[in-house]
Chains A and B, each alone.
Chain A
Amino acid sequence: MTEPRVIRFRLNGEWVQLGVAPNELLINVLRERLHLTGTKYWCGIGECGGCTVLLDGEPVLSCLTLAVDVDGREITTIEGLATGEDDLTPLQRAFIEEGAIQCGFCTPGFILTAQALLRENPNPTEEEIREYVRGNLCRCTGYVNIVRAIKRAASEAAKSRRPGPAAGAASG
């Protein structure tokens, strides 16, 4: 057994520090040691996208990421997005409104992946959305409403970015 190493990273906005084994996976640190169970595990070999978290804003599979590799960096999990109904992100809200959730097991992975997509490409086409999330599997929804929700979140974000005529309702 090799020595544990102390790592420090920003998790959902707060610095955490802990000792990890060199072969310890990020998903186990998050779920078992920090009790953040919103990140889901269901294949363990990079086939499903359920374990997606954001590493410095980029989506990564936490089942394939070594904990030591996040030292000094920033991790966002689903728990870091909102605390309740009032501060839901546009994506979370759109997932609810569009019925993009059934069993909900794939939902955290999808929301984080979509968040990264919208950061890279605020106005994606349907094809771009389907292409970007193709590594995230969902067995319940048939993806229809998930794609719709991502589109809706994008267009709502666009509306709030563009203060011009859209906001000035009186002009219509």
Chain B
Amino acid sequence: MSSSSVLEEIRRAEEFLVVGKGVWRIDALDKVTGRARFTSDFVLKDALHVRLVKSPIPHGRIIEIDAERALGLGPVRVFTAADIPGENQVGYALPDQPLLPADKVRYVGEPVALVAAPDEDLAEKAAELVEVRYEELPAVFDPLEAMERSDVLVHEDRGTNIAEMTRVRKGNVERGFEESDVVVENTYRTGHQEHAPLETEGAVAIPDTQGGVTVIASIQYPHLCQRITARVLGLPHSMVRVIQPYVGGGFGGKDDMGPVVSAMAALVAFKTGKPAVLVYSRRDSFTSTCKRDPSVVRYKTGATRDGRLKAIEVQIILDSGAYANRGPYVLWRATMHAGGPYEVPNAKVDGFLVYTNKVFEGSFRGFGNPQVQFAAESQLDELAERLGMDPLEIRLKNLLRPGSRTITDQLLESSVGIYEAVKLLGEKTGFRAKWREYRRERAGRVRRGIGIACGYHGISTSRGVPDWSNATVILGRDGSVTVETGICEIGQGSWTAHAQIAAEVLGVPVERVKVVGGTSDAPDTGATHASRGSSIGGIGVYVAAKRLRERLAEAAARLLECDPSDVEIREGRAFRRDSPDDYVEWEELVQAAYSMGYEMSATGYFFLPKGKFDMERGLGYAYPAFSYIANVAEVEVDLETGKVRVVRVWPALAAGRILNPVLVEGQIEGAIAQGMGYALTEELKFEDGRMLNPNFTDYLIPTSLDVPEVEAPIYVEDLYEYGPFGAKGVGEMALIPTPAAIMNAVKNATGVRITEIPATPEKVYFHLKEAGVVAGE
């Protein structure tokens, strides 16, 4: 279908019954009754249990892997790089990552071998007995140091530890700073963040009768798992089937780890002819899966006396750990979002992705954006302070609006609702008055503060990389509706949204629709990431359902003896618009259509039109659209303990049409909690590359006692022309500005700017003491 006719359809589709209402999640019943099955719930007889043998050193050559003692334990098998029949390569952006390393290890926790045995305890014991001899190499842990060194290289063949460089050059920053009345310059640091999905990574692989393998795994993109697994096994893609059961949280990590665990389990199944179960222990999930990239961001901002931004100069350094994985894409996203959702006429941004000998980094809700927004939004408050303005005022002066250009010089013609969202948010929260009051007070042991921060996030893939949507809709003879899509359900509710779209277009109750998603048997719909699951993914469903609806309207017209354009189908009935009492029931209609010879299945495909991007200057079409968010956070800072308590958060979202308010609220609340953990407590500690706290006792994710009240969100429905019913992405949004909103509130409460997260109580206390806000003992 051409893009313009889809567009027209989307515009016409306005009077909706189901969309926009909080219908029950289609997976809710399975999940409250314990019937929902996750990867590790596929308990198979005769399955082999797989455990990892992991590197205890951060950097070293593998001299020898001796499995003799392990094999002596009984029916045990050990697999190493030498057993891989296909290509030993799982790198995403760069071909730098083996499934199991053949020559050297690059981080503590890197899997070097797989051990399989009929029961878990035996596999565990055998894994401990595999002896690997290493020749240790000097290691590098600090990205700033790694950038400069060429004597210690994580990947020798690359000749440098810099895996990727990015840039944006807009206007003339020198002139911009000359024209500025104030210039603020700071360095910001953010730490690792572990996804900590409640369900750890895992895969079950079952050899099939035709020499291929079926994989059931905790994933975010079945077709990518299929490609990588097939590559590792040396099979055509068609020989690998991937199925997603229920997934216990993804947050991006399972997009990256899904293919790895799939390929590992499949390797064992393929070599042994037996089903193989690999479920990462919580410890494995900490030590050996990707995290959010730690960052150092040097940020210089200039503005005129009246608060207009003139120029930014930004350097972003992302610590990629041992492998590049998604890093180049994460870095590009960080680079192109470095300005925040503001008009900045002159921008110079340089990004560096740097290898170190630590666990590798990867996709995580926000994808490079939280790191830069933390810096950008802290800067803005500092600038306001210097100008004697309040944080709201400076934002309202500079926010993007329809007709604005981003820092990549992309023209935003429409669907830019952030200005209105911030305005409403300011009014709803009484921001100015509170901000002034708290700033004046600043007395007592517990100080209150309020802070605001904004964020924006390009939906779909970056830089004009093609994006598409594809889905199949099938009507059964009994009137049931099946939607097949590659989009995964990872808790965010995409399948419910898909069912809603199909129900809406076809005119049936949503209960009729079953979504078969997350499988390589469906058309390749791209990954469930970049907040594209419901938005981009939903378009294919829309197009396919539309085709069927046209056929059904024709069939109904023949039954009702009228013109197809006079047929209305709603709530499971087809009738003539002028005489609603004259109707055909849905089942009857579908059966009649079958016997009249209409094809009752249809595919929907949509290729998202994109513009050009100039990589040299980092200018041009970065994203088809942006979603926008602003959060206000109110905090209490205990000066004696350094503990920051987030009392309340008010979100405002401009993400086009809100398809299902209950699901959207859930995404916002969850993202705020995760953003709060990121900002305050979630700290991975390392010593010589070894993780010191790989458990939930020492790595603190928010509990029910820590999370703030989240007020009902403000929605500005700035409809997006290519989104289904005008929807944009939601899933990542509310995390992005949360750290800055909290730290801006801490500043409001105490007068102290903290430029480093997580701001654990010790760190906060240290900064307060350093600034003389609390007296040292």
Contact = CB atoms under 8 A, between A and B. Distances in A.
B305 interface: no
B43 A31 contact: yes
Interface string B662-679: 110110011111100000
Interface stretch (A42-50, A154-162, A164-172): A42-50
Interface string B189-210: 0000001111110000000000
B248 A104 contact: yes
Nearest to A109: B198
Contacts of A78: 32-34
A106 interface: yes
A137 B198 contact: yes
Contacts, number: 172
Interface in B20-47: 22, 24-25, 27-38, 40-41, 43
A37 B41 contact: yes
A133 interface: yes
A140 B249 contact: yes
Interface in A16-35: 31-32, 35
A42 B196 CA distance: 10
Which A-B residue pairs are the 10 nearest by beta carbons? A38-B34, A103-B491, A105-B248, A104-B31, A78-B34, A142-B673, A142-B669, A37-B41, A102-B491, A47-B696
A81 interface: yes
Contact of B33 (A38, A129, A144): A38
8 contacts: A32-B43, A97-B24, A103-B247, A106-B198, A141-B669, A142-B672, A142-B702, A146-B704
The SS class assigned to the B binding surface is loop
A108 B34 contact: yes
Given A35-B43, A101-B31, A141 B705 contact: no
A101 B28 contact: yes
A141 B493 CA distance: 12
A93 B140 CA distance: 53
A65 interface: no
A106 B24 CA distance: 18
B492 A102 contact: yes
A147 interface: yes
A42 B22 contact: no
A6 interface: no
B710 interface: yes
A111 interface: yes
Interface of A: 31-32, 35-45, 47-48, 50, 77-79, 81-85, 88, 92, 95-97, 99, 101-108, 111, 129-131, 133-147
B719 to A, nearest CB: 24
B703 interface: yes
B412 to A, nearest CB: 30
Nearest to A143: B704
A123 to B, nearest CB: 18
A136 B31 CA distance: 16
B25 to A, nearest CB: 6
B215 interface: no
Nearest to B248: A105
B282 interface: yes
B705 A130 contact: yes
Contacts of A135: 703
- The interface size bin for chain B is 35 or more
A139 B697 contact: no
B198 A40 contact: yes
Nearest to A48: B696
Nearest to A97: B24
Contacts of B492: 102
Contact of A85 (B29, B36, B493, B703): B29
B767 to A, nearest CB: 27
A106 to B, nearest CB: 5
B707 interface: yes
B28 A139 contact: no
B739 to A, nearest CB: 15
A134 B659 CA distance: 32
Given A136-B704, A137-B198, A139-B196, A144 B669 contact: yes
A39 B196 CA distance: 19
A79 B248 CA distance: 18
B28 A43 contact: no
A137 B703 contact: yes
Contacts of A143: 669, 673, 702-704, 707
B567 interface: no
A77 B33 CA distance: 10
Nearest to B696: A47
A139 B249 CA distance: 7
Nearest to A43: B282
Given A102-B491, A105-B249, A147 B704 contact: yes
Contacts of B31: 101, 104, 107
A137 B249 contact: no
Contact of A79 (B33, B670, B673): B33
Contact of B35 (A38, A47, A138, A140): A38
Contact of A82 (B33, B248, B666): B33
A124 to B, nearest CB: 12
A67 B225 CA distance: 38
A39 B247 CA distance: 15
A36 B35 CA distance: 9
B200 A42 contact: yes
A134 B198 contact: no
Contacts of B342: none
A165 B233 CA distance: 70
B34 A105 contact: no
A97 B491 CA distance: 16
B696 A43 contact: yes
A81 B578 CA distance: 49
Contacts of B665: 99, 145
Given A103-B247, A141-B666, A48 B198 contact: yes
Interface string B133-156: 000000000000000000000000
A135 B31 CA distance: 20
B3 interface: no
A131 B34 contact: no
A85 B569 CA distance: 28
B249 A103 contact: yes
A132 B757 CA distance: 30
Interface string B645-667: 00000000000000000110110
Contacts of B707: 142-144
A38 B672 CA distance: 28
Contacts of B491: 102-104, 140
